């Protein structure tokens, strides 16, 4: 089976799929992440076609893939309708589109909403990424191009010694958070302190036995 990983990051989905026997192509916009992904595929001893590309302009022909997947990545495309159309375009009829997203009412969705209030105003027409975590929005965006839409709820457990520890790790690994913290550190330390207190208060609700529970929504559908 031919599989495309959209917004592959460090290659988690791509490497996993290749180890299971798929012929995998994977794209991302960030060269540094692609280099990590290439290293991970070398370690796993799997062959993957890596490429630097945009989810809104996939460099593939119509119907090339049996599966098109995205793990928490396509949700950051500024134009959801364009990204959705592109993912469906390169998927063959009868193929599967699947992606994981963050529900707005749970941990990651809530902390993303907090961070958004401390960031500069978004450009006109900006759509919050967490809307992809609402099944009603997902159905609307996929429209009548698919059938057999299925939703599953899953979660991951992230080790953390405290809410502060978890927040510190996020600030070192999430691009938008890195930029926001750098900006507030220089311009308004009190505002940064307020953000961190809000963030940590939410995280504390999901921390137990030194792990933080992060729930997500998994969507699967078949292209007509």
Cβ-in-10-Å burial (0-12, 13-18, 19+) of 92 comes to middle
For residue 6, pLDDT beyond 90: yes
Q: Which residues pair with 207 in a beta bridge?
A: 212
pLDDT in tens, 57-98: 999 999 999 999 999 999 999 999 999 999 999 999 999 999
In angstroms, rounded to a whole number, what is the distance separating the alpha carbons of residues 186 and 211? 32
For residue 48, pLDDT beyond 90: yes
Quote the pTM value.
0.90
Average pLDDT of the residues of the chain: 95
**CATH classification code of 2-101:** 3.40.50.150
Over range 13-27, report the average pLDDT.
Answer: 98
In this structure, what token pair is assigned to residue 183? 């900006």
More confident residue, 173 or 150: 150
The pLDDT, as a whole number, for residue 29 is 92
Predicted confidence band of residue 105 (pLDDT cuts 50, 70, 90) = very high
In angstroms, rounded to a whole number, what is the distance separating the alpha carbons of residues 103 and 3? 25
Predicted confidence band of residue 124 (pLDDT cuts 50, 70, 90) = confident
pLDDT in tens, 172-221: 877 778 888 988 998 899 999 999 999 999 999 999 999 999 999 999 99
Cβ-in-10-Å burial (0-12, 13-18, 19+) of 159 comes to exposed
The pLDDT, as a whole number, for residue 173 is 79
Q: Which runs of E-coded beta strand occur in 31-111?
A: 48-52, 65-71, 91-101
The pLDDT, as a whole number, for residue 177 is 84
């Amino acid at each position: 089976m031919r599989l495309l990983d959209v917004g592959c990051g460090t290659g988690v989905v791509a490497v996993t799929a290749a180890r299971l026997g798929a012929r995998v192509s994977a794209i991302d916009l960030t060269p540094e992440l692609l280099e990590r992904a290439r290293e991970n595929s070398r370690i796993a001893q799997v062959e993957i076609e890596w490429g630097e590309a945009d989810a809104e302009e996939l460099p593939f022909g119509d119907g090339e893939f049996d599966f098109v997947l995205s793990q928490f990545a396509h949700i950051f495309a500024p134009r959801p309708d364009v990204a959705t159309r592109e993912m469906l375009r390169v998927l063959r009829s009868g193929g599967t589109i699947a992606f994981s997203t963050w529900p707005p009412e749970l941990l990651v969705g809530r902390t993303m909403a907090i961070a958004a209030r401390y960031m500069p105003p978004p450009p006109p027409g900006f759509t919050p990424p967490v809307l992809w975590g609402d099944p009603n929005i997902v159905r609307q965006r996929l429209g009548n191009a698919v059938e057999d839409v299925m939703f599953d709820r899953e979660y991951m457990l992230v080790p953390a010694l405290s809410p502060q520890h978890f927040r510190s790790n996020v600030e070192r690994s999430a691009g938008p958070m890195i930029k926001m913290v750098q900006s507030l550190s220089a311009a308004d330390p009190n505002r940064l302190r307020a953000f961190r207190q809000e963030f940590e208060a939410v995280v504390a609700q999901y921390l137990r036995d030194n792990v933080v529970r992060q729930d997500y929504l998994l969507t699967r559908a078949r292209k007509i």
